[in-house]
């Protein structure tokens, strides 16, 4: 057996033997909420947080922490495809307001400084990685890690990972879903 089998959250079908190509895409490795939101208890979520699958704001006294969901592609070495994560990123209030204001603008292309807000599995201290958040109209914004920052995630973004490694990561992320 080769490829990845999974139940598709989008079309509801069971896809078999997917190889990450455009015709047979791998599942998106998405995260429904940013980690700082998941760290809140139920009451704090209700009292001081607002979240959708794309936007999240947490009120912390006089400060607002703002998060958007993005796409982080890791290229597969020697191929033209990527493993795509759907992590959250924290951006400044001004950037967030700009993003929300242009949320439905198909031509919006801006560039914000951000900080990863989803601890991608398998990486030590991934929240420390500075990223650029590049909006792409109606698509989720693209994350580009700071190339000068020494971190395995930065290396994987620029140098790529092997197909074997990508399949291993997808399988390990599918496991918890399969057991519920
Ligand atoms: Zn599908």
Q: Are 153 and 130 in contact (CB under 8 A)?
A: no
Residue 177 has a pLDDT of 52
Cα(70)–Cα(95) distance, rounded to whole angstroms? 14
Domain ranges of the chain: 28-161
Quick one: which of 120, 52, 79, 29 has its CA closest to 131?
A: 120
Q: What is the pLDDT of residue 179?
A: 45
Question: pLDDT value at position 176?
Answer: 60
At residue 138, the pLDDT reads: 85
User: Ligand 1 mean position to 14 CA, how many Å?
Assistant: 7
Cα(96)–Cα(135) distance, integer angstroms: 11
Secondary structure class of 162 (helix, strand, coil) = coil
The owner of tokens 């001004």 is 94
Q: What angle do CA 140, 173, 100 make, to 5 degrees?
A: 20
pLDDT digits 0-9 by tens, 108-145: 889 999 999 999 999 999 899 999 999 998 899 999 99
Q: How far is the CA of 24 from the centre of ligand 1 (A)?
A: 9
**What radius of gyration do the chain's Cα atoms show?**
17
pTM over 0.85: yes
CA 6 to centroid of ligand 1, rounded, Å: 9
pLDDT of residue 8: 86
Cα–ligand 1 centroid distance for 10 (angstroms): 5
The bridge status of strand 63-69 relative to strand 88-91 is antiparallel
Number of H helices, E strands in the chain: 5, 12
| Geometric angle at alpha carbon 34, from 32 and 38, rounded to 5° | 90
Query: From ligand 1's centre to the CA of 128, what distance in Å?
Result: 33
What string of H, E and C letters represents the secondary structure of 28-91? CEECCCCHHHHCCCHHHHHHHEEECCCEEEEEECCEEEEEEECEEEEEECCCCCEEEEECEEEE
Distance 157 CA to ligand 1 centre (A): 26
Q: What is the pLDDT along the chain (180 residues), one digit of tens a residue?
A: 578 999 888 888 999 999 999 889 998 899 999 999 999 999 999 999 999 999 999 999 999 999 999 999 999 999 999 999 999 999 999 999 999 999 989 988 899 999 999 999 999 998 999 999 999 988 999 999 999 999 999 999 999 999 999 999 999 988 765 444
70 is written with which tokens? 């993005």
Instruction: Determine the distance separating the centroid of ligand 1 and the alpha carbon of 97, expressed in angstroms.
Output: 33
């Amino acid at each position: 057996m080769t490829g990845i089998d999974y139940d598709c959250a989008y079309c509801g079908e069971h896809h078999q033997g997917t190889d990450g190509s455009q015709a047979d895409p791998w599942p998106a490795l998405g995260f429904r909420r940013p980690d700082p939101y998941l760290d809140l208890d139920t009451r704090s979520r209700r009292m001081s947080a607002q979240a959708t699958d794309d936007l999240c704001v947490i009120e912390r006294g006089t400060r607002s922490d703002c998060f958007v969901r993005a796409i982080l592609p890791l290229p597969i070495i020697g191929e033209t495809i990527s493993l795509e994560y759907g992590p959250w990123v924290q951006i400044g209030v001004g950037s967030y307001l700009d993003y929300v204001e242009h949320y439905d603008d198909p031509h919006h292309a801006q560039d914000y400084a951000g900080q990863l807000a989803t601890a991608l599995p398998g990486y030590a201290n991934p929240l420390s990685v500075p990223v650029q958040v590049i909006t792409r109209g109606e698509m989720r914004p693209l994350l580009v890690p700071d190339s000068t920052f020494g971190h395995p995630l930065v290396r994987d973004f620029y140098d790529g990972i092997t197909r074997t490694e990508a399949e291993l990561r997808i399988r390990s992320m599918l496991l918890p879903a399969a057991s519920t």
